[in-house]
Amino acid sequence: MMESLEVEPYEELPDSKMNYQCLLPKEIGTCKETYPFYFFDRDTKTCQPFSYSGCGGNENRFMTLSQCTSQCEPFTHMTNAEMDCFLPLDEGFGNSDKKCLENSGFRFYYSEKEGLDKRNSGIMVAEEMPTPFTLMRCVKGRVGPEVSK
């Protein structure tokens, strides 16, 4: 039997190209000034005030509560696992001119048949097939790109 959720899930997830700025961690920046701004707190699913230093930081920074609320509203209805689907792909730090051991890496993919996240009570965390990506793969001691479909 499926456990009840804290929030109502979307019947259809928002567009995966949605700006993920709301999911970035709060960063105050690197200067010494203080300016009142807002950031989206993904743990509480609310916009919170914070003091921005005036330079640096990231894009999870809004001048008004209204801007933050309107931009980040779609994320207030998602579980953390669903939010993670909107983060950019981490390409890693591989170097294609280095040699590596054959079959030394792992490859992960989304399979429509296996699309249930078992850690999240069987809730579908991604409803779209992912776009192709480049995978650096070790084959016979050489590294080369492979396009996943």
User: Coil, strand, or helix at residue 41?
Assistant: strand
Name the pTM for this structure.
0.54
In whole angstroms, give the CA distance from residue 60 to residue 81: 19
Domain ranges of the chain: 16-88, 89-149
Average pLDDT over residues 91-100: 55
* Residue burial 25-47, b: 16+ Cβ < 10 Å; e: rest: ebbbbeeeeeeebbbbbbeebeb
- CATH T-level assignment (fold) for domain 16-88: Factor Xa Inhibitor (4.10.410)
- 99-141, pLDDT tens digit by residue? 555 445 544 444 444 444 444 433 444 444 454 454 554 544 4
- pLDDT tens digit sequence for 68-83: 999 999 899 888 888 8
Residues 60/27, Cβ–Cβ less than 8 Å: yes
